[in-house]
C-alpha cells in the first residue's frame, strides 16, 4: 500500500529533475546566444567594413581621374558605388571638407566636416555608429591629395537577422523543452494509470469478496486460508500476557495456568491453528525453569504445536511499562470508567524501552524479511513502528483489544503523537467497532500530518499506508471447555452443591477480572435493588461472582477489591438469612473448565461493563449453553451488545432497569430462553474467532499481494 506514495514521490523527483534540466538548458542557451550574437555581430561588421574599403580602394584611381573633370562622370561613379542595396550613401569631400558630390540619402551625421578630421593616412578611417534608423558603418578613404570618399552602409539588417536567428533558436528550444518535460510525464502518467487499474483490481477483490456463509470458519479453514494466501508462513504473535504460565506451587510442583485474559482466550485457538511463535512476558514463577536456552517453550502441554518465546523484565520495567504507563495511563484513558489516568515520565521511558525490547525479540523470531506479525493490545503501541524500522517489508497487524477514545480524550496524554506514530507503523490496525476506528481517524486527523483515505479506510503517513478496520473479536467455536462431557444438569448439581444452594434456588453468575471497568460494584448494587424491589427473590436468588484478582499492585484495583468486599458484606448482611447469602464472592482465578461449569449452572449471567472493547464473557456464556437455557443480561457499553441483540440489553448505571432485566430473566419462559439463546449461538457460530483471525489474515494476504504487484510494476517502470 506504500505503492502510491512511492510512485508519486518518484514522479515528483522526476518532475523536479526535468524542470531543473530545462531551466539549466534555458540558462545555457541564453548565455550561448549572447556570446554567439556578439561574436557574429563583430564578424559581420568586420566583413562589411573590409568589403567597403575594398570597394573604395578599387574606385580610388578612377575617382581621382574624374575628380576635376566632368561632374556628371564623377557622379556616375558614386552612383555605381551606391548600387548595393545596403549602401546608404556615398559622398566625395574636397580637402577643405566641402562636398564635391554625394548620392541622395547620404546621412547628414557623416557629412564632410564630421568625418574629415578623422581621415588620416592611406588607411583612412572607419567606425560603427547608431543612427535613428539603426546601426551603420562608415568608411572613409583619402583620394590622393584631392580629398576623400565616404561610404556609409546600413548594418540594421545584421540585427534583424540576429533577432530572427534568436527567435528560431528559442522556438526550437521551447519545443525541445516541451518534449523533454511532456514525454516522460505522459509516459509516467500512462504507466501510473496502468498501475492504478491493476491495483484497483486487487483492492476491489479485497473489498468486495462476498462471504460464503455456508462455509463456516473453523480451525481447519483458518489453516487452509493461511496455506492458500500466506503459503503457510510462520506467524509471530506479540502480547504482554502469555497463553500458558508455569507456576511453582506450595508443594514444590510446577503447574500450568491459563491466564484470565480475553486476549489469550481469543488468540490461543488461532495460534493452535496456525503455529509459529508467541512472544510474551515470562510472568510465571517457574517460567525461567521451563524454557530452553533460547527462552522458548513448546506448548500447549501434551499437544505441542507452537512456541512461546519468553521475554524477561526487571521489576522497574514491569512497574513502569505494565503497571504504570499501560494500566494506570492507557487503560483508564481508553475506558470511560471515571478513573483518572496517571502519566509519569518515568513510566513512559520504561514503556518505550520495553516496547523496543519486545520489538527486538519479535524481529529475532522472524524467519524472513517480510514476516506476518500480529501485535496485540495497548501494551505495544510503539512496537509496530519499531518493528517496521528493522523489517520494512513486514506485514504488521495490530489489534487493539480495548476501546479507542475520542480525540479530545486522547489529547490529554502527553505522548499522544508518539502513540499514534507508533501504531501507524502497522500495515493493518484493527479495532472491535467502527466507532473506535472513527475515533482513531479523528485523532490522527487532529494531531498528525497525515492523509486520511476515507474511501479505503486508511491513513497514509510519510509514504506508508495503514488500513484501519473493525474486526469484532470472538471465541473459538465450539469452545473446548464446553465439551467436557458434563451435562448442564450435572454442572448445575455440582455448583449448587458447592455453594450449598437449595434445589429450587435461582442462580445468577458474573465472571470477570477484578477491574473497575467491568462494573462489578454496579452489578452487586443492581442485585440489591432487585431484592429490594422484588422481595419474592429474597432467600431464593443467589448471585455468584467469580472475580480473578487483577493488577493488584495498583491502588485503584486495591480500592475496588475492598469496595466489592464491603458491598458484598453489606448486601449479605441486609438480605442474608438462615445460611442464605444473596451474594457469593469467589475472589480467585478459576481454570476454564470451572468457569464453564458456573456458566452452565446459572439461570442468568450479568455482564455489566461500564465500557468494554468486546467482552468475551458474554460470548462464552452463550457458548456454554448448549442446553439453550439461561438468559444473558448485557451492558449496552460492550462491543458484544452490537452482536448479541437477543440478550437483555441494559444501562449498568441504571439500577432499576438492570434489576428489572434480572427479574425478567429469572421469570422468562423456557421457550423464549431457547429462542434467544439459539439466535445468539447462531451469531457466534458464524462470527467466531477463526473468522476474526481469518479476515485479518486474508486482508493481510491481499495487502501483501497488492504491495508485490506495486513493487513489481515500479521495478518494471524503472527498468523501462
Exactly one of 512, 646, 698, 707 binds ligand ADQ (CB under 6 A); that residue is 512
Using CB under 6 A as the binding rule, the residues of this chain from 149 to 188 that contact ligand ADQ are none
* Least Cβ distance, residue 614 to ligand ADQ (angstroms): 3
617 binds ligand ADQ (CB under 6 A): yes
Could you give the CA distance from residue 46 to residue 126 in angstroms, rounded to a whole number? Answer: 10
* End-to-end Cα, the chain, rounded Å: 22
CA 309 from chain centre, in angstroms, equals: 29
Exactly one of 150, 151, 266, 383 binds ligand ADQ (CB under 6 A); that residue is 266
Q: Return the SS3 of 339.
A: coil
The residue (of 7 and 242) whose beta carbon lies closer to ligand ADQ is 242
Q: Return the SS3 of 306.
A: strand
The residue (of 126 and 609) whose beta carbon lies closer to ligand ADQ is 609
The residue (of 138 and 397) whose beta carbon lies closer to ligand ADQ is 397
Closest listed residue to residue 362, CA positions, set 316, 317, 395: 395
Say if CB 263 and CB 513 are below 8 A apart. Answer: no
CB neighbour list of residue 245: distance below 8 Å, 6 or more residues apart = 256, 257, 259, 283, 284, 287
613 binds ligand ADQ (CB under 6 A): yes
Exactly one of 29, 126, 218, 261 binds ligand ADQ (CB under 6 A); that residue is 261
* Least Cβ distance, residue 274 to ligand ADQ (angstroms): 18
Could you give the CA distance from residue 217 to residue 233 in angstroms, rounded to a whole number? Answer: 19
Q: Return the SS3 of 198.
A: helix
The residue (of 335 and 681) whose beta carbon lies closer to ligand ADQ is 335
Exactly one of 59, 90, 429, 546 binds ligand ADQ (CB under 6 A); that residue is 546
Exactly one of 398, 585, 616, 696 binds ligand ADQ (CB under 6 A); that residue is 616
Could you give the CA distance from residue 608 to residue 263 in angstroms, rounded to a whole number? Answer: 19
Tell me which stretch binds ligand ADQ (CB under 6 A): 87-95, 149-157, 275-283, 616-624: 616-624
Main-chain phi, psi angles of 625, to 5 degrees: -95, 65
Say if CB 44 and CB 37 are below 8 A apart. Answer: no
551: left (phi over 0), alpha (psi -120 to 50) or beta: left
121: how many CB neighbours lie within 10 A of its CB?
Answer: 8
671: how many CB neighbours lie within 10 A of its CB?
Answer: 9
Between the CA atoms of 650, 554, 559 and 265, what dihedral angle is there, to the nearest 10 degrees? Answer: 30
CB neighbour list of residue 318: distance below 8 Å, 6 or more residues apart = 281
* Least Cβ distance, residue 436 to ligand ADQ (angstroms): 11
589 binds ligand ADQ (CB under 6 A): yes
Could you give the CA distance from residue 520 to residue 587 in angstroms, rounded to a whole number? Answer: 12
Tell me which stretch binds ligand ADQ (CB under 6 A): 488-496, 544-552, 642-650, 661-669: 544-552
What is the per-residue binding string for ligand ADQ in 466-505, x denoting contact by CB under 6 A? -------x--------------------------------
Exactly one of 436, 513, 523, 600 binds ligand ADQ (CB under 6 A); that residue is 513
Exactly one of 590, 629, 642, 708 binds ligand ADQ (CB under 6 A); that residue is 590
The residue (of 217 and 400) whose beta carbon lies closer to ligand ADQ is 400
Could you give the CA distance from residue 114 to residue 131 in angstroms, rounded to a whole number? Answer: 14
236 binds ligand ADQ (CB under 6 A): no
The residue (of 150 and 260) whose beta carbon lies closer to ligand ADQ is 260
612 binds ligand ADQ (CB under 6 A): yes
Using CB under 6 A, count the residues that bind ligand ADQ.
Answer: 25
615 binds ligand ADQ (CB under 6 A): yes
* Least Cβ distance, residue 482 to ligand ADQ (angstroms): 12
Residues making contact with ligand ADQ (CB under 6 A): 260-263, 265-266, 401-402, 473, 511-513, 546-548, 589-590, 595, 612-617, 620
Amino acid at each position: 500500500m506504500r505503492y502510491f506514495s512511492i510512485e508519486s514521490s518518484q514522479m515528483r523527483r522526476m518532475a523536479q529533475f526535468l524542470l531543473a534540466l530545462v531551466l539549466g538548458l534555458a540558462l545555457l542557451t541564453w548565455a550561448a546566444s549572447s556570446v554567439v550574437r556578439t561574436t557574429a555581430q563583430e564578424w559581420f561588421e568586420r566583413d562589411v567594413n573590409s568589403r567597403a574599403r575594398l570597394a573604395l580602394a578599387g574606385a580610388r584611381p578612377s575617382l581621382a581621374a574624374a575628380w576635376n573633370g566632368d561632374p556628371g562622370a564623377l557622379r556616375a561613379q558614386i552612383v555605381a558605388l551606391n548600387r548595393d542595396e545596403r549602401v546608404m550613401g556615398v559622398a566625395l569631400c574636397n580637402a577643405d571638407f566641402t562636398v564635391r558630390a554625394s548620392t541622395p540619402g547620404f546621412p547628414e551625421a557623416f557629412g564632410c566636416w564630421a568625418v574629415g578630421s578623422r581621415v588620416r593616412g592611406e588607411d583612412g578611417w572607419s567606425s560603427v555608429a547608431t543612427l535613428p534608423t539603426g546601426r551603420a558603418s562608415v568608411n572613409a578613404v583619402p583620394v590622393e591629395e584631392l580629398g576623400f570618399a565616404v561610404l556609409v552602409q546600413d548594418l540594421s539588417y545584421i540585427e534583424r537577422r540576429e533577432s530572427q536567428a534568436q527567435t528560431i533558436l528559442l522556438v526550437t528550444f521551447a519545443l525541445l523543452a516541451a518534449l523533454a518535460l511532456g514525454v516522460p510525464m505522459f509516459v509516467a502518467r500512462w504507466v501510473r494509470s496502468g498501475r492504478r487499474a491493476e491495483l484497483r483490481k486487487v483492492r476491489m477483490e479485497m473489498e468486495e469478496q462476498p462471504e460464503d456463509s455456508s462455509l463456516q470458519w473453523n480451525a481447519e479453514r483458518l489453516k487452509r486460508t493461511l496455506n492458500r494466501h500466506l503459503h503457510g508462513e510462520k506467524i509471530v504473535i506479540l502480547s504482554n500476557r502469555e497463553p500458558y504460565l508455569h507456576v511453582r506451587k506450595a508443594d514444590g510442583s510446577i503447574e500450568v495456568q491459563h491466564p484470565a485474559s480475553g486476549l489469550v482466550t481469543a488468540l490461543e485457538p488461532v495460534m493452535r491453528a496456525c503455529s509459529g511463535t508467541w512472544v510474551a512476558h515470562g510472568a510465571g514463577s517457574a517460567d525461567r525453569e521451563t524454557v530452553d536456552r533460547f527462552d522458548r517453550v513448546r506448548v500447549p502441554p501434551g499437544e505441542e504445536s507452537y512456541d512461546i518465546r519468553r521475554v524477561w523484565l526487571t521489576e522497574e520495567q514491569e512497574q513502569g511499562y505494565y503497571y504504570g504507563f499501560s494500566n494506570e495511563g492507557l487503560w483508564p484513558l481508553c475506558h470511560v470508567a471515571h478513573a483518572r489516568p496517571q502519566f509519569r515520565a518515568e513510566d513512559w521511558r520504561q514503556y518505550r524501552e520495553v516496547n523496543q525490547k519486545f520489538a527486538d525479540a519479535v524481529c529475532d523470531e522472524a524467519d524472513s524479511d517480510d514476516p506476518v506479525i500480529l501485535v496485540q493490545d495497548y501494551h505495544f503501541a510503539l512496537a509496530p513502528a519499531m518493528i517496521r524500522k528493522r523489517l520494512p517489508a513486514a506485514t504488521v497487524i495490530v489489534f487493539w483489544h480495548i476501546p479507542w477514545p475520542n480525540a479530545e480524550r486522547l489529547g490529554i496524554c502527553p505522548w499522544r503523537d508518539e502513540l499514534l506514530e507508533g501504531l501507524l507503523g502497522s500495515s493493518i490496525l484493527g479495532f472491535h467497532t467502527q466507532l473506535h476506528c472513527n475515533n482513531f481517524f479523528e485523532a490522527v486527523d487532529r494531531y498528525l500530518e497525515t492523509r486520511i483515505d476515507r474511501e479505503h479506510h486508511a491513513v497514509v503517513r510519510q509514504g506508508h499506508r495503514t488500513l484501519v478496520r473493525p474486526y469484532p473479536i470472538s471465541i473459538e467455536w465450539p469452545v473446548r471447555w464446553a465439551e467436557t462431557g458434563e451435562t448442564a444438569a450435572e454442572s448445575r448439581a455440582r455448583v449448587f452443591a458447592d455453594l450449598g444452594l437449595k434445589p429450587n434456588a435461582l442462580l445468577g453468575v458474573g465472571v470477570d477480572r477484578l477491574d473497575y471497568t467491568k462494573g462489578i460494584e454496579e452489578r452487586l448494587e443492581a442485585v440489591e435493588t432487585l431484592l429490594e424491589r422484588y422481595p419474592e427473590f429474597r432467600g431464593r436468588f443467589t448471585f455468584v461472582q467469580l472475580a480473578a484478582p487483577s493488577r493488584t499492585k495498583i491502588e485503584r484495583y486495591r480500592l475496588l477489591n475492598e469496595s466489592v468486599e464491603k458491598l458484598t458484606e453489606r448486601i449479605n448482611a441486609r438480605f442474608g438469612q438462615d445460611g442464605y447469602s444473596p451474594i457469593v464472592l469467589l475472589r480467585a482465578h478459576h481454570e476454564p473448565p470451572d468457569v464453564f461449569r458456573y456458566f452452565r449452572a446459572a439461570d442468568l449471567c450479568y455482564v455489566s461493563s461500564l465500557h468494554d472493547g468486546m467482552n468475551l464473557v458474554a460470548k462464552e456464556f452463550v457458548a456454554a449453553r448448549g442446553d439453550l437455557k439461561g438468559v444473558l443480561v448485557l451492558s449496552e457499553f460492550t462491543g458484544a451488545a452490537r452482536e448479541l441483540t437477543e440478550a437483555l440489553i441494559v444501562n449498568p448505571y441504571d439500577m432499576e432497569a438492570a434489576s428489572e432485566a434480572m427479574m425478567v430473566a429469572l421469570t422468562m419462559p423456557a421457550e423464549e430462553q431457547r429462542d434467544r439463546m439459539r439466535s445468539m449461538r447462531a451469531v457466534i457460530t458464524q462470527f467466531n474467532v477463526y473468522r476474526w483471525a481469518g479476515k485479518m489474515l486474508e486482508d493481510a494476504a491481499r495487502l501483501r499481494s497488492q504491495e508485490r504487484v506495486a513493487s513489481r510494476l515500479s521495478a518494471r517502470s524503472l527498468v523501462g
